[in-house]
């Protein structure tokens, strides 16, 4: 078993580390406070190849592996979790399905601008009545001549308010149940009948827009069907497996930021005549954080390696996302505790980390659903 990163993986990790220190950290608090989409950062990340890391170069990507992708998301999210999730959704939830299921013509037209960072993509799945149970979605798509006509509303769509292109899941044959769901590529800027509805006010990741997308007789070209009709649920599950790695990496990045800041603060904060880093109670908190974050990162790297190797990784992806997000939340709570009153104030980034960490336990499949996915795979393995 070999744990050493390749030179290319070390290079992307170090590049992202430098970029985060120089470009992201100085503006992260302002982006959060003003709820501002980091358009300039996204453009620069595109120039560095970070908005389509695992996409072939012919379609605007960097042609790197998913281990590199995990390392990059961790470093970016250490500086700003909002920027990290924008990058994750662009890579995992838009670029991945278009690259995996799209035709060469679709990739050329709809993947290249997003993977290169010149445009932003999103993935419209969740609805008010269809979150953990996507098969119950009500959005429909009907073929009318040379167009698909989409009607429905999607909720909680990351990047939805700023996206140029969107992968949308809709029911094309209600009688077939879950096998009657299909996926489509929508040009968000040039589709009559499409509009952005409510942009949510959120606890955390405030620089990342979370929007309602509305389709009222929205007409898209017939050729914008992604893959085969009726294959939407299968595409969706595969896409979410990949997406969970990005969210797990975001969580580890938040946790790493918490740990770094807690360690530095404990070395300078004095109580009873000595730094609080000398107290066992503080040391144990930091030790637990460090141990759990290393374990979470190893789970993520294992799942990414499986994906790179073309092996099944559904269970491992769910494990990594679930564990990493729980670890990040525990670390954030303890990080605030280490800083005491300062951890509760906006003068320090710690309170932002705590707000940002919570969503990682919810999106890309709640951690309760992750446990169901893991258990389902265990029983499947037991049958074999």
For domain 122-232, the question of CATH label 2.40.110.10 is answered with: yes
Q: What is the pLDDT of residue 195?
A: 98
Q: What is the pLDDT of residue 132?
A: 83
Q: What is the pLDDT of residue 323?
A: 98
Q: What is the pLDDT of residue 174?
A: 92
Q: What is the pLDDT of residue 205?
A: 98
Q: Whole-angstrom Cα distance, residue 43 to residue 275? A: 42
Q: What is the pLDDT of residue 254?
A: 98
Fold of domain 240-383: Butyryl-CoA Dehydrogenase, subunit A; domain 3 (1.20.140)
* Helix (H/G/I), strand (E/B), else coil: 181: strand
Handedness of CA 209, 50, 121, 182 (dihedral sign): negative
Chain centroid to CA 267: how far?
33
Q: What is the pTM of this model?
A: 0.96
Q: What is the pLDDT of residue 2?
A: 84
> Catalytic pick from 270, 292, 364, 368?
364
Q: What is the pLDDT of residue 40?
A: 97
Helix runs in 48-148, H state only: 66-79, 81-88, 96-101, 104-106, 112-115
Task: Specify the CATH superfamily of domain 7-120.
Answer: Acyl-CoA dehydrogenase/oxidase, N-terminal domain (1.10.540.10)
What residue ranges of the chain are covered by domains with CATH 2.40.110.10?
Answer: 122-232
Q: What is the pLDDT of residue 34?
A: 98
Tell me the average confidence (pLDDT) per consecutive run of 10 residues in the chain, 384 residues long. Answer: 92 98 98 98 97 98 97 98 98 98 98 98 94 88 97 97 98 93 97 97 98 98 97 95 96 98 97 97 98 98 97 97 98 98 96 98 96 96 79
What residue ranges of the chain are covered by domains with CATH 1.10.540.10?
Answer: 7-120
Q: Which residue has the tokens 């740990």?
A: 259
Residue environment code for 158-175, b if the CB has 16+ CB neighbours within 10 A, otherwise e: bbbbbbbbbbbbbbbeee
What residue ranges of the chain are covered by domains with CATH 1.20.140.10?
Answer: 240-383
Q: What is the pLDDT of residue 383?
A: 77
Dihedrals phi, psi of 215, to nearest 5 degrees: -120, 115
Token couple for 185: 């590529």
User: Catalytic: 14?
Assistant: no
């Amino acid at each position: 078993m070999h744990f050493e990163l390749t030179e290319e993986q070390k290079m992307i990790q170090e590049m992202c580390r430098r970029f985060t220190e120089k470009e992201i950290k100085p503006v992260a608090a302002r982006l959060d406070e003003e709820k501002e989409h980091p358009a300039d950062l996204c453009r620069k990340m595109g120039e560095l190849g970070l908005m389509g890391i695992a996409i072939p170069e012919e379609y605007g990507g960097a042609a790197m592996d998913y281990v590199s992708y995990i390392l990059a998301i961790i470093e970016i999210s250490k500086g700003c979790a909002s920027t990290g999730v924008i990058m994750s959704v662009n890579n995992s939830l838009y670029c991945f399905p278009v690259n995996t299921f799209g035709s060469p013509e679709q990739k050329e037209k709809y993947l290249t601008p997003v993977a290169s960072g010149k445009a932003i993509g999103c993935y419209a799945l969740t609805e008010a009545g269809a979150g953990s149970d996507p098969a119950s979605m009500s959005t429909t798509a009907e073929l009318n001549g040379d167009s698909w006509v989409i009607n429905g509303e999607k909720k909680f769509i990351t990047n939805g308010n700023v996206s140029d292109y969107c992968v949308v899941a809709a029911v094309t044959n209600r009688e077939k149940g879950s096998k009657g769901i299909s996926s489509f590529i929508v040009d968000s800027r040039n589709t009559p009948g499409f509009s952005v509805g409510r942009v949510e006010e959120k606890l955390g990741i405030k620089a990342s827009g979370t929007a309602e997308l509305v389709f009222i007789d929205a007409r898209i070209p017939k050729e914008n069907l992604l893959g085969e009709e009726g294959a939407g649920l299968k595409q969706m599950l595969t896409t979410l497996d990949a997406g969970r790695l990005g969210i797990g990496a975001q969580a580890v990045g938040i946790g790493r930021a918490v740990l770094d800041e807690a360690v530095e603060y404990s070395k300078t904060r004095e109580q009873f005549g000595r730094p609080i880093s000398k107290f066992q109670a503080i040391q144990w908190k930091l030790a637990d954080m460090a141990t759990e974050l290393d374990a979470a990162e190893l789970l993520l790297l294992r799942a990414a390696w499986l994906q790179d190797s073309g092996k099944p990784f559904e269970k491992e992806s769910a494990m990594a996302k679930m564990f990493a997000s729980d670890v990040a939340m525990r670390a954030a709570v303890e990080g605030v505790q280490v800083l005491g009153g300062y951890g509760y104030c906006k003068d320090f980034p710690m309170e932002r980390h705590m707000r940002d960490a919570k969503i990682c336990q919810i999106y890309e499949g709640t951690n309760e659903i992750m446990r169901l996915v893991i258990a389902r795979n265990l029983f499947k393995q037991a049958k074999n």
